[in-house]
A and B are shown apart, each in its own frame.
Chain A
Amino acid sequence: MVVVDVGFDELRRLTGHDEKGDEELKADLFALGIEHEGETDDGLAQLEFAPDRLDRLSVEGIARSLRYQYGDDRGISIPRTNDPDWRYEVADSVPAERPYATGAVVRGVNMDETVLDSLIQLQEKLHATMGRDRVKGAIGIHDLVMLKGSEALRTPNESSGERERDTSTASASDGRAGEAHDPSGRDPRDHEAAGSADNTITYRGIEAEADTFVPLDADAELSPSGVLSDHPTGRKYAPIVAEYERMPTIYDEIGLFSFPPVINGRRTELDADSTDLLIELTGTDQWTIDRMCAILCYALAARGGQIEDVAVSYPDRELRRPDLAVETKRVSHDRIESVLGVDLDPETAIDLAERSGLDARVADADIDDGEGAHVEGNGRSGTAASTDERNTPTGTDGSRSAAGDSTDGGSTAGDVMYEVSIPPYRQDVLGPLDVIDDLGRAYGFNDLEPRYPDVSTVGGRHERSRVERAVRQRLVGLGSEDLLNFHLIADAENYDRMGLTSPDATGGGDETADAGSNDADDRGAVANGNGTDTPFGALAPARIREPYSAEYGIVRTWALPSLLMVLENNTHRAYPQELAEIGLAAGRDASESTGLAEFRTVAAVLARTDASYEIAKSRLAALCRAFDVELETPPTDHPTFIDGRVAAVVIDGVSTGVIGEVHPEVLVEHDLEVPVAAFEFRLDALR
């Protein structure tokens, strides 16, 4: 879940709904899947939502969603962009791990403290989510006034690259519609000239000591390596670039001004008076940073900013950014009805799409799948276009509304296919189901009538859980308190405090083969009568990597340690304490695909003044009789138990456990002042 701090007054202003009270806004937000979690010290509302709609990571984005929800806005809107004045040159020297750059210039932002705070929050939240803590994508926003691109006069070049964005967007989107995304970040416009961009910044890799700049929150010139070692922000993000051969840096005419993904320079720092901004992003994936950039551009456009394209020049290609192209997804009417479980008129479906901030139009039904995605010359599928389209299929549709519930009986609109346009700030729409989800939200999922599916199946328990239940009932009948202990345990509890030695402590790392002999097919090795093999419980454990707490460092290899711990924690409670557990234990086993043999184990302890081997055996024998298996208890050695009062549990000829009186040393170790008799064996033995 992600949390964004938002001022309700600001939200009212941006949505144009001054009449909405706080409570009303909260209810409207809940309907969007956004929960009000509380307030910040500054009185901002903390809004929490699932991390799919990252375009909502700012008050501007949330306001946009609300305006669609209120019906104030419909369909797709794309900010117009001006022609590029700036060129981002990506040098050969950039670190191979971080080859991609993108960005935009935004002029005339109505900047103030509120807008600046919101922008900084959006930047941070994008870093934390899509940017994967700046690894995958990092944003730098600079005051354009402080940058120097070129000595040359900034004369717009009328002849070469001039494109009217309102038309070019459409052709761009159509051009891209059928393209599968190329992970290399290639763009259909790669080879279009960006022409007039005379001012240049350069993304390049340098040696860590090769240059210096004054970073944010510092007064002195530092080299990149100095930032990483001496600056608090530098130290925080140093791990990202630790393995880079060269440090990623961005230069303008004056010099080094940004050290992505670590920190910006102080020279270009934003303040509440900055109106013209230069945005640069670098990262490990072109698509990701382009989406992050689009979300930023939409937020700034909502603040009056005029977006200006930039030309991104790679050594082998040139891109025009920001990428505000519209993606299209094909969704069939059938699928919409089937997933939502309701009948819809096609115009209703289109209406729902527009209320979700999407555009939808009926694709030509004749067009074949693969190529059909391109609908040439239609331009942006705006509201006007879809109004024309939506009348076409409705003639055949009158009967459908009366059809009521039936969704699967051949729909007359069944062959209708929509081409749905996805705005560039949406990074979460991967396929048709994501579009249908949007339509469902606009429809109101809670307005759907639940129905029990007309699907007949036969239920039943797994055999393992049936045998477990049967053993549990028997043990409870014999007087045991049934327990449910953690499967995670400390090394010390599992071995040392029971008088055992961990196989990892003695044999070094590679004892898995040894543990392998203890799997279910060869249980004779476990606690056998001769006591020559591993004592029961002393398997090599599954071990957690970098556990927070050694208390939960391994998966238990037997259950008696858990029961002893419960006795230890309950010495102030009334005796007798007769406990039993049927639960999971596991030991490493190279013969298993997972490398781990998991099994259910049956363990019981009797803590009472007259606890004895004989009473324990009497219980065990009762259990074995109930399952019609033969029990033998040949003497064995086991460090947890008193010598001469411990036996192997041999069931139907297979040694599968241990029974005895717990050794005084183990009792004292667990602060117990009553004798304890115990047994444990593998559940499989009773099956």
Chain B
Amino acid sequence: MQLPDAQLAVIEAASATDQKTIAQLADETGREPETLTGAAFDLAERGLLDVTERPDETFALTEEGATYSADGLPEIRLYRAAREADADDDPVSMGQVIGASGLDGEAVDIALSNFARKGYGEIDSGALSTSPDADPDADAEAAALDAVAADDANDVATDTIDRLVQRGLLTRSRATERAVELTDGGVTALMEGIEAADGVGRLTPEMLTSGEWRNADFRAYDVEADADRTNGGRVHVLRETAERVTDVLVGMGFREMDGPHADAEFWINDCLFMPQDHPARTHWDQFALSEPAEIADLPDDLVERVKEAHKEGVGEDGEGYHSPWTEDVARGMDLRGHTTSLSMRYLSGEAVGELEPPERYFSVEKVYRNDTLDATHLLEFFQIEGWVMAEDLSVRDLMGTFTEFYEQFGITDIEFKPHYNPYTEPSFELFGTHPTTGELIEIGNSGLFRDEVLRPLGVECNVMAWGLALERLAMLTTGAEDIRDLHGTLVDLDFLRNAEVTY
């Protein structure tokens, strides 16, 4: 049998006939009691050792107790001084005796109160007399103090100890004393011979290269104990949601768009058939730039066609807006209020050349709105934008596409509420039931692009499109209540570190 070093020491020191305390084992083996205790329990578990536990009291002198142990208890000193003044015959003045005893301060009171209690004499009207029967050499308290000082207090009466503890001369500490005794199995094992095996804390490269690990006994850890906290690096929780959306859309055959964040109003608004006097086009809703203030190049023929759509409409009895339209306004630079500006650049052929149906495109990119920053509104947020270009698309195709998309996020039973957008017709707000709260929430805006949008872009087939704030989806999937935790410079790192993974 092989045992770790400490266990071997314990089993060798233990006896089958006499219980030995851990303290005794420590004396014999020169090892730390803690090590031995652990080893003893390990051996008990193997059935080689019995461990008996009993409560153990130990005492120590307090500073005051140590003084009295050396100088004598104050009451005894008082008694001896009284005897020297012959107080056994007649009472002697208290002051005289105290002076002779050399007691002062608190010790005087202590001496006086214990003097009478322990029957050393009497105190009457400031005079002190000793008792003839008193025997300071037989004082149990003094003896007890000496015994504790000599670390041999086992035989001292309990009430004497209690009294001294009460007087503040002793401290009592309670512990469990463990004693060990070999079991029959232990005796057998010893007789069969036991070799030392190293108890291994850490597996070292040396052990591996030398093959020593084969003989190693790996010390068991407290595997239930808490470990130190690791934060590590991780992808931002909102980015995780964006990646998930991207995965879904790519899987559905959508290709990703990319383009400018700061763009001309032409691409952001005019191509979308937003009249130039539309209330949402004022700087109250979107960020206009003072620098750079104007785009340098716009495709002239497209500008002409868009202008005509605004002024005259599209189609045989189409109608335009009865609103002013100037290229100056169209050239103005804004931060995009939606990523539909990208869709316009792609559909017009400006981004990647003319597109032939069918096509699917998407982006999950930032947009900017001149809003008030609060728990549910940000000045910049991510918009999911997607569109499908094909011949003969119907609102049923639109519904089917979005039903499929939202199902990937656990949102089923979408409702389509007829809605109005200047750039799509028919248009729908999409509502879905929150998977956990059961609440009906708006989850997107969609529609078929108008002829007034598509024809100027040179698109003759149908295009259906939809948009959605990524943060809204993320708030549903992460349970975040304050959008500012999710996105931006006001973020709380602990929120990011503790956010549940999205996948």
By a beta-carbon cutoff of 8 Å, the part of chain A in contact with chain B is 30, 33, 50-53, 132, 135-136, 178, 180-181, 183, 285, 287-288, 328-330, 338-342, 369-370, 373, 407-408, 428-434, 436-437, 440-441, 445-446, 448-453, 455-462, 464-465, 469, 472-473, 475-489, 509, 512, 540-548, 552, 555, 562, 565-566, 569-570, 573-574, 577-578, 580, 584, 586, 588, 592-596, 598
Contact = CB atoms under 8 A, between A and B. Distances in A.
Given A132-B279, A339-B395, A595-B333, A183 B322 contact: yes
Nearest to A578: B233
B242 to A, nearest CB: 9
Contacts of A462: 255-258
Given A449-B396, A593-B297, A594-B295, A544 B252 contact: no
Given A285-B322, A487-B366, A542-B262, A459 B489 contact: no
Contacts of A287: 322
A544 B490 contact: no
Given A465-B246, A574-B231, A459 B252 contact: yes
A485 B393 CA distance: 38
A481 B256 contact: no
Given A51-B420, A544-B287, 16 more contacts: A33-B420, A183-B322, A339-B394, A339-B448, A450-B396, A450-B399, A450-B400, A452-B401, A455-B397, A542-B262, A544-B335, A545-B290, A548-B370, A569-B491, A588-B292, A594-B264
B126 interface: no
A570 B322 CA distance: 53
A430 B318 contact: yes
A461 B250 contact: yes
Contacts of B358: 455-457
B313 A598 contact: no
A583 B372 CA distance: 23
B489 A569 contact: yes
B291 A566 contact: no
Contact of B317 (A342, A431, A548, A584): A431
A542 B419 contact: no
25 contacts: A136-B323, A181-B320, A338-B462, A428-B420, A431-B451, A436-B425, A437-B426, A451-B400, A452-B404, A455-B358, A455-B360, A458-B255, A460-B255, A481-B231, A483-B496, A484-B488, A542-B289, A542-B292, A543-B290, A555-B262, A586-B262, A593-B295, A594-B262, A595-B294, A596-B262
B395 A340 contact: yes
Interface of B: 229, 231-236, 238-239, 243, 246, 249-258, 260-264, 277, 279, 283, 287-297, 311-320, 322-323, 333, 335, 358-360, 366, 368, 370, 372, 378-380, 388, 390-397, 399-404, 415-421, 425-428, 448, 450-452, 462, 487-494, 496-497
Contacts of B333: 542, 594-596
A373 B318 CA distance: 12
A573 B493 contact: yes
A549 to B, nearest CB: 8
Contacts of B489: 485-486, 489, 562, 565-566, 569
Contacts of A478: 233
B420 to A, nearest CB: 4
B425 A434 contact: yes
A430 B319 contact: yes
B230 to A, nearest CB: 10
B426 to A, nearest CB: 4
B294 A598 contact: no
Contacts of A555: 261-262, 335
B48 to A, nearest CB: 46
Given A456-B358, A457-B358, A448 B288 contact: no
Given A449-B396, A486-B489, A436 B295 contact: no
A545 B395 contact: no
Contact of A544 (B232, B233, B290, B428): B290
A476 B235 contact: yes
B336 to A, nearest CB: 11
B393 to A, nearest CB: 6
B426 A436 contact: yes
A476 B496 CA distance: 13
Contacts of B287: 488, 544-545, 547
Nearest to A446: B416
Contact of A457 (B234, B255, B399): B255
B277 to A, nearest CB: 5
Contact of B492 (A407, A455, A548, A570): A570
Contacts of A461: 246, 250, 256
A481 B289 contact: no
A475 B233 contact: yes
B292 A594 contact: yes
A592 B259 CA distance: 13
B497 to A, nearest CB: 7
Contacts of B497: 481
Nearest 9 interchain pairs by C-beta: A595-B292, A341-B394, A341-B396, A50-B420, A450-B399, A52-B420, A453-B397, A462-B256, A459-B250
